[in-house]
Amino acid sequence: MHLNRQQAITYLKDVGYPMGQSTWYRWKIKLNNEKRERLYEIARIGYEEEHTDSVEEIETARKLLWKEYHDCKGSVSRASILEKIINTRPLLSSYYDSTMVVLEKPNYARTTTEENNNLQGPTTTTTDPNPRVE
């Protein structure tokens, strides 16, 4: 839902959260400053389990392929199995890299938000951590 300032203030009043323009601007600035941090938190929570499951599946498949390789007698079949094992390596590395990025992002987001606040200087409206309803 994309509303202009007046529509947003009217909507908030209608749903039980009346506020003035200055409070609305403080909340808007606060939410915009924390947007990236919130996205990284959502990504960390949502993708963490999926990454773990995917890594475990690939590792399990690799173990089964190695077992099949050792049980296999034909050289063509063994070569085919080795090729499949080798092809799982980049996929597994990609999941490890992605998991590390997702887990490290909240720290990056926090630093970026703090740096942006410092760059804005005294000319911008300060962000009150607990904006008050007028």
Residue 41 lies in a domain: yes
Q: Could you list the residue range(s) of the whole structural domain that residue 113 is in? A: 35-117
pTM over 0.75: no
Residue 76 lies in a domain: yes
Burial of 83 (0-12, 13-18, 19+ CB in 10 A): exposed
pLDDT for position 68: 93
d(CA 58, CA 103): 20
pLDDT for position 37: 82
Residue 17 lies in a domain: no
d(CA 103, CA 4): 35
Which two three-digit tokens encode residue 106? 């909240």
Give the side-chain half-sphere CA count within 13 A for 113.
19
Give the residues of the chain that fall short of pLDDT 70: 1, 44, 47-48, 99, 102-134
How many CB atoms within 10 Å of residue 81? 20
Residue 105 lies in a domain: yes
pLDDT for position 23: 92
d(CA 125, CA 120): 9
How many domains in the chain? 1
Residue 132 lies in a domain: no
How many CB atoms within 10 Å of residue 48? 13
CA distances for 33 relative to 84, 116, 128, angstroms? 46, 8, 12
Residue 85 lies in a domain: yes
Residue 83 lies in a domain: yes
pLDDT for position 126: 47
Residue 20 lies in a domain: no
What are 39-49's pLDDT values in tens digits? Answer: 777 776 776 67
